[in-house]
């Protein structure tokens, strides 16, 4: 079930749990439904793919699927050395990214950024035949 489907399911459930005496709650729920409908009918945004992916803009739970799709597109475009920006922080996201990279079939090797920046990882991709 997609994230959007989960939101819709929760929103529909909330519509029936609000009491009629609470008009503000009903208004907020209707407003949410309008926003969800707008999202569902909008066109996908095309993003150009280059050799850098900044993970700051993405939900951490989406990272495994995101990396998998990003690597596939990079290989199609013949981009074999990429930089994944995960940030410094506590290192939790870096550790998660590294654990995904260790198991990924298209990753030949990876290392911290050559410039000494611990907030990014350089990944060497390989084509699988």
What residue ranges define each of the domains in the chain, with the CATH number in brackets?
Answer: 3-41 (no CATH), 52-125 (3.30.1370.110)
Task: Quickly list H helices, 3-128.
Answer: 3-17, 23-41, 63-76, 92-103
Q: Could you say which residues of the chain have pLDDT below 50?
A: 12-27
pTM of the full structure: 0.62
2-38 residue pLDDT tens: 555 555 555 544 444 444 444 444 445 566 666 666 6
pLDDT value for 64: 92
> ∠ CA 15-25-31 to the nearest 5 degrees?
75
Long-range pairs of 23-32 with CB within 8 A, sequence gap ≥ 24: 32/7
* Complete edge-to-edge strand list for the sheet that includes strand 107-112: 52-54, 81-85, 120-125, 107-112
Strand-pairing partners, residue 124, are 81, 109
- DSSP letter for each residue of 82-113: EEEE--STTSHHHHHHHHHHHH-TTEEEEEE-
Please report how many Cα atoms fall inside a 13 Å half-sphere around the Cα of residue 29, on the Cβ side.
Answer: 18
Residue 71: count other Cβ atoms within 10 Å of its Cβ. 22
């Amino acid at each position: 079930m997609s994230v959007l489907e989960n939101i819709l399911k929760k929103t529909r459930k909330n519509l029936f749990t609000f009491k009629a005496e609470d008009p503000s709650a009903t208004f907020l729920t209707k407003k949410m439904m309008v926003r969800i409908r707008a999202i569902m009918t909008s066109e996908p945004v095309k993003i150009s793919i280059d050799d850098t992916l900044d993970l700051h803009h993405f939900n951490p739970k989406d990272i495994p699927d995101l990396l998998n799709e990003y690597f596939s597109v990079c290989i199609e475009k013949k981009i074999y050395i990429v930089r994944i920006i995960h940030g410094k922080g506590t290192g939790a996201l870096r550790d998660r990214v590294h654990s995904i990279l260790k198991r990924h079939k298209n990753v030949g090797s990876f290392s911290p950024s050559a410039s000494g920046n611990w907030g990014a990882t350089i990944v060497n991709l390989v084509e699988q035949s």
